[in-house]
Amino acid sequence: MKDLDKIIFALPKGRILKQAVELMLESDIKPEEDFSKQHSRKLRFLTNEQDLDLIRIRSADVPTFVAFGAADIGIAGQDDLLELDYPELYVPLDLNIGICRLVIARSDQAKSKEKSSSLSHIKIATKYPNITKKYFEKKGVQAECIKLNGAIELAPNLGLCERIVDIVETGETLKANGLVEIEKIMDISSCLIVNRTSLKTKPEKINKLINRFTETVHGKAA
């Protein structure tokens, strides 16, 4: 049952978690001990603040929990925000963490040197079918998207698709799987996101959190 007086803060598991937790600690939010226990199966945690609980969920699910009001506030990547495109979300702050880019890549063995703009139809494996379709539509190309949830880099060399659209941080995963980047779609970072209804119904608590994160982020940038 959701305690209506509580603020639920959604944190993304995975590669952004460490940076997100650092920002949270610097903003004086301290999770209960279980949060850092590796073997804990708990998904919801108390904090040093009585009216603030944390949930730890898959990064791609943070926008959904917040948009539907299951969480009031969270940290999400611009890739997932654009893909899901929920009107219920307000994005008050770029946290400047989780910096990466969304790119188109293909096998480094691919013989065809043609640019995507010269094709009329292309098969693409991706976690981001909506972004991908829109991006290629603008170029007059019909993208047939095969939705995968991970290990996208295997797809071209196993004949599943000609290209992939995925995030790249260091470029190691592309390289290790015989792929090359051919085009950047957009730069990405992670942002603070807020449910618009929560902002109206709990303005004081939510604005206090936004202000604390803003001070932390601006303090780092100074």
Residues making contact with ligand PRP (CB under 6 A): 14-15, 150-153, 166-173
Cα–Cα dist 126/146, whole Å:
6
Tokens 């944390």 appear where?
54
For residues 151 and 186, which CB has a smaller minimum distance to ligand PRP in the complex? Answer: 151
Q: Are 153 and 179 in contact (CB under 8 A)?
A: yes
For residues 120 and 170, which CB has a smaller minimum distance to ligand PRP in the complex? Answer: 170
Q: Are 89 and 195 in contact (CB under 8 A)?
A: yes
Cα–Cα dist 27/21, whole Å:
10
- C-alpha torsion angle, residues 148, 15, 133, 147 (rounded to 10): 10
DSSP alpha helix (H) spans, the chain: 17-26, 62-67, 78-84, 129-138, 172-176, 196-201, 203-221
**172 Cβ contact list (under 8 Å, min separation 6):** none
For residues 53 and 166, which CB has a smaller minimum distance to ligand PRP in the complex? Answer: 166
Cα–Cα dist 81/91, whole Å:
9
Cα–Cα dist 138/166, whole Å:
19
